[in-house]
Amino acid sequence: MKTVGEKIAELRKQKNMTQEEFGSMLGISAQSVSKWENNVSLPDISLIPIIADTFDIAIDTLFDRSATVPSVKAENAVEIAFHHLLKTNAAYFDLQNKLEEYKSIICEENTTATAFYTENGAIFGNQNIGVIYRKSAKDSVPFLKDEEIRAYLSMLADENVCKILAYMAENAKSFTAASIAAKCGLTAKDATATLETLKKYALVMSRAVDLGDETVTVWEKYAFHKILFIYSIMALAKKAASGEDNYYCFCGDYTWS
């Protein structure tokens, strides 16, 4: 399999371009192009899509794997996406020739992660999480000051909220406050208050059912696909709170630049 540099050289020559001509199309020097083609250095990850676009090819072609692009189906889509995330990191760390070894370490060792931070954002991956964060450190600071975000995190930190979310994730789509209270070990009052909170965040909806002599409120899951965001937040929080800082490959610092 050709290296990225060798592939760039091959594609450049197919286009009958000199290193100077190709470099000028990217706004870089011929010396930088020469370093890539001689495997002295790799293109910055932010230039990969631009290089591919310049050659009118898919990004995968730069990594000489265009012939092995798998068919994407529901049952393999997540694994394919995660594979490409790790492949991007491997290219950044010049580990294309050790991709399978690199991938197996990340996927099989639950304490090991890989990440790199740039001025444009970051890519992080471990056994269960693949994250592409498309903001700079500077642009991310406002999140720490956002009251809406803090309120949402406080909601997720509530024990009763987590109990009811866990029950809804595993069980029936509809219930009363009394029935879910019994299942979750809560009082009916606490269950009702918690369900009202979840309704505020569009995770449940309620409707009144007329029984003739009385009316009962029935609660139902609503827009529960949002549980994906909650699972992701929890998984990242678990990583952040663990105190573990074990990386197979890592580049960057707290400034992200």
208: in domain: yes
Within a domain: 120: no
Rounded CA gap, 27 and 9, in Å? Answer: 17
Structure token pair of residue 121: 């954002």
Q: Which of 13, 36, 66 delimits the end of a domain? A: 66
Residue range of the domain that includes 196? 147-228
Query: What pLDDT is stored for residue 172 in this prediction?
Result: 75
Asked if 124 contacts 131 with a C-beta cutoff of 8 angstroms, the reply is yes
The pLDDT value given to residue 114: 93
Please check whether residue 76 lies inside any domain of the structure. no
Domain tally for the chain?
A: 2
- Going by C-alpha positions, the residue among 66, 2, 55 that lies closest to residue 26 is 55
CB distance 45 to 11 below 8 Å: no
Pairwise CA distance, residues 242 & 60, whole Å: 35
pLDDT given at position 69: 52
> Per the domain annotation, does 223 fall within a domain?
yes
Domain boundary among the residues 36, 66, 96 is at 66
CB-CB contact of 255 with 148 (8 Å): no
Q: Using alpha carbons, select from 256, 250, 238, 11 the residue that is nearest to residue 136.
A: 256
Residues in the chain: 257
Residue 168 tokens, joined:
């809804």
Determine the pLDDT at residue 185: 96
Dihedral of CA 66/70/73/77: which sign? negative
State the DSSP H helix or E strand holding residue 5, giving kind and residue range, or none if neither: helix 4-14
Provide the CATH number for the domain around residue 19. 1.10.260.40
Give the chain's residues under pLDDT 70: 1, 64-70, 254, 256-257
Q: What is the pTM of this model?
A: 0.70
Q: Does residue 160 fall inside a structural domain?
A: yes
Say if 119 falls within a structural domain: no
Question: How far apart, in whole angstroms, are the C-alpha atoms of residue 116 and residue 249?
Answer: 8
Domain boundary among 32, 50, 66: 66
Is 84 a member of any domain?
Answer: no
Q: For position 254, what pLDDT does the model report? A: 67
Q: How many CA atoms lie within 13 A of 48 on its CB side?
A: 16
188 lies in some domain? yes
- What CATH number does residue 157 fall under? 1.10.10.10
Alpha-carbon span 193 to 199, nearest angstrom: 10
